Structure 1
Amino acid sequence: MQDYFEPAPPAPENGGESLTAEQAIANLRGDDLGLRYYAAWWLGRFRVREPAAVDALLAALEDESDRTDDGGYPLRRNAARALGKLGDQRSVPALIWCLDSSDYYVREAAAQSLEMLNATASVPVLMQMLAGGVEAAVRVPGKPHLAQPYNAVIEALGTLHATEAISLIQPFLEHPVKRVQYSTARAMYQLTGQSIYAERLIQALRGDELQLRRSALMDLGAIGYLPAAEAIAETLAENSLKLIALKGILEHQLGSNPTQPPSLSDHAIQVMAVMDSLL
């Protein structure tokens, strides 16, 4: 799902379009900032799980040369995103370190990647990022974002089954930003199993803003909430996104035990029928 919302950066004119893994790793270690930025994205996009790729991306997390005018670290952002996709647990300590970055988008990417890596060691630091509660979760003056990447932090805590964080997460159901409310409802369902939180996301599918309906679709797919299948199919949004959300629900129904073949329960067949109706 993350890939859908993460458009590819433009390929550099001097050698970005037709890379091999070896070339991408070499570019990431080179001096050309454009090639380095693209290589970090490319290694994640194509899941290059070679140790040398992980090593190069870990080194890029400490890069000081690629800076924006306001002090951001574009290369570090791409490296942090890529490391989550490569699945190497060696990345966890460095990504936890990134949660303290001065760059909001590095912190966001690190939280998302730690969620992907199922890094339970990151839970205490993620919980610290919710310190101050909703009152502190305000927009930074002159910036287009809140004080912390609350969506990513709360979603990570939900996926990591951090039940000890429930008291910190629950107040964000009343946050003025609806997307934060949705992330909170998603996490609260994962942490408590109470359908009232998932039903809030179903209600969000009927909202006026397309982007918010898209967000609710992705959240329902992430939690695999079966009663949402029909509502997802009827949502005013792209069929491609509805199918992604339904795929998430189907995967929850099939289970994830690699030693056993998937079982086509009546519920799984029901979801597949809904998906067929959208094709």
Structure 2
Amino acid sequence: MFLSLADIRRCSLRDRRWSGRRRAQPRSVCWQCAQRNASTRRQGVAREDLYRVLGATRDSSPAEIRRAFLEQSQRWHPDRNPGDERASERFEAVKTAYQVLRDATLRAAYDEAGFAGLDAVISVESRHERMKDALKEVQQLERDNASTEELAFWGLDGSNLALLEGAEPVVPSDGGASSAVDQPTDARPRSVAEAIANLNHPDEGYRYYAVWWLSRFRVREAADALVAVLRHSTDRTALGGYPLRRRAALALGNLGALEALTFLQEALGNDEDWHLRHRAAEAIAKILMQQPSYMPNSQLTEALLSRLETFQSEAHNETESVTLPPGFDLSTLDEAKRARLLEIFAKRRADEARARRSTQTPTLGVDLQSAMMQEPYEWLLKALGYVAGRMRSDPAVWARYEDRFVSAMRPLTKHPVPLVQYAAHKAMYQATGKVEHLHALHGALEFGAEHHFSQRVLVRDLGELGQLESASAIANCAMVENSFKVFAIRQIIQRCNLELTHSALDPLFHLLDDLL
């Protein structure tokens, strides 16, 4: 049996398309697949003129081509000719002809050179698509620092395919011409020194990426440079905020930089940017969490307490007020009816807030412009919880602050935002050791008690507290993924100050076995 050159080419294209990972096929290759399938079913019958298949002429307009296709497809549709094999074959031929003649490029090639012209277009387009795909693979492998062996494994020759890529502009230096390789054109730092230098780059994008990069890789030697950004960055948003300072504060928190605490306290008092206050409070809490041996000084304690007390005094009147639905005037009602209606309105607001509870949506029946929503209560409470827990080790120091801590934190256990409410319970437990606050956290893990995003945060917080009795509540939380639970129980084991062989840890190991 002898194969024609066209048969060999079609087999080669088929093998390349279906070997390994399937690539996107150009429209002409799709037509080729349909034509090959139709010709296979016709068992070697010569290909028929496409215009004749549709009953059209070479002078037919696109609208006439479409009309002819609709007529022929209705005539030969298999549903209208059940059991007629010839009708099915004819219907496939009509579809194939229309796929070619409706495309201006393919129709022009067919008009000029017939099926040979179509084969040429198919060959060029398929080769072009393969080369584009190959080039993309090489570029991706190079970005991932792929080795020569990896390129060879995929059958790609990077030295040849690189010729298809546009050249980078070459800027001559004082010592002569330099290549584009010597002058990177992206914001990705090649070293720690370059990342730190990029914090002062004239391009805003470079500065943002440098802060993220230093935070992502926990570069401790960059702490001083990030403090400078936190204090002196002049980047402003349209609303007057300091976006780069916010990112620098978050990065310092991820680094656990104790030397930045003083400057984060200053940022906590920034009245122009409430987002910066949130990031500063979050950074302080994260630093205290990462530095368990650090004993906070009186300056930090006063800063955190005073900010929390100030925030609460500003929001006090708003929390006491009751907002009535529009159209209601209770002034003419007697006391009993007025009290009953106020109770109904309060319950309705509470139910609506409960239905919308989510970690990322703080608008739980509270005005966004309210002082209650403008301050970082959650992270301030977490920071104060760490401070209180460490102060309790020195009874003389704790005696001076205990009443003030409790009076500042207890009202927030009734805050309308769930994560603030539970952060207050966590801080109160760290400050007083009363199990009622720990049980409040356990109750929030029950099915449907809170949104599962909030429950993830609570699982993490309970792990940080390190109490053995929390392990069962964590393991039984149905709405949180097992990976979160395993990490939290592992934290409890690490923080409970017991030897791994202690019998009290056996139930926790059984819980881990069940979760894994």
Q: Could you say which TM-score interval applies, normalised by the shorter chain?
A: 0.7 to 0.9
Instruction: Report the equivalent of 2:67.
Output: none
**Separation (CA, whole Å) in 1 of partners of 2:212 and 2:372:** 23
Instruction: Report the equivalent of 2:211.
Output: 40
> What displacement does 1:111 show?
1.7
What is the CA deviation profile of residues 137-166 of structure 1, one whole-angstrom value per residue up to 9, with x for unaligned ones?
A: 875645898121000001100011164411
> Which structure 1 residue ranges, 4+ long, deviate > 4 Å from structure 2?
16-19, 136-145
> What displacement does 1:112 show?
2.3
**Separation (CA, whole Å) in 1 of partners of 2:191 and 2:277:** 29
**Separation (CA, whole Å) in 2 of partners of 1:276 and 1:18:** 43
1:72 to 241, 264, 280: 241
> What displacement does 1:253 show?
1.7
The alignment partner of 2:469 has SS state of: helix
1:216 to 458, 466, 473: 458
1:197 equivalenced with 2:450 (yes/no): no
CA contact (8 A) 2:467 2:496 kept: no
The alignment partner of 1:199 has SS state of: helix
Counting only pairs closer than 5 Å after superposition, residues 79-158 of structure 1 correspond to structure 2 as 79-101=248-270, 102-118=272-288, 119-120=296-297, 121-131=299-309, 132-133=312-313, 135=316, 141=368, 146-158=373-385
> What displacement does 1:67 show?
1.8
**Separation (CA, whole Å) in 2 of partners of 1:72 and 1:140:** 21
Q: Which is bigger in relative contact order (C-alpha 8 A, separation at least 6)?
A: 1
Structure 2 gap segments, 5+ residues each: 1-183, 289-295, 320-365, 392-401
Greater displacement, 132-141 / 203-212: 132-141
Amino acid paired to 2:239 = D
Specify whether residues 92 and 250 from structure 1 end up closer, same or farther in structure 2 by C-alpha distance, changes over 3 A only: same
1:252 equivalenced with 2:421 (yes/no): no
What is the CA deviation profile of residues 4-53 of structure 1, one whole-angstrom value per residue up to 9, with x for unaligned ones?
A: xxxxxxxxx95345643222111112222222122212212211111xx1
Using the aligned pairs only, state the percent identity.
Answer: 36
Specify whether residues 143 and 34 from structure 1 end up closer, same or farther in structure 2 by C-alpha distance, changes over 3 A only: farther
**Separation (CA, whole Å) in 2 of partners of 1:252 and 1:230:** 16
Specify whether residues 269 and 253 from structure 1 end up closer, same or farther in structure 2 by C-alpha distance, changes over 3 A only: farther
TM, length-normalised to structure 2: 0.46
Q: Larger C-alpha radius of gyration, 1 or 2?
A: 2
CA contact (8 A) 1:136 1:147 kept: no
Greater displacement, 67-76 / 166-175: 67-76
**Separation (CA, whole Å) in 2 of partners of 1:220 and 1:136:** 33
Specify whether residues 47 and 210 from structure 1 end up closer, same or farther in structure 2 by C-alpha distance, changes over 3 A only: same
For this pair of structures, how many residues does the alignment match?
Answer: 259
Structure 1 gap segments, 5+ residues each: 1-12, 256-261
**Separation (CA, whole Å) in 1 of partners of 2:378 and 2:372:** 11
RMSD of equivalent CA atoms:
2.6
TM, length-normalised to structure 1: 0.83
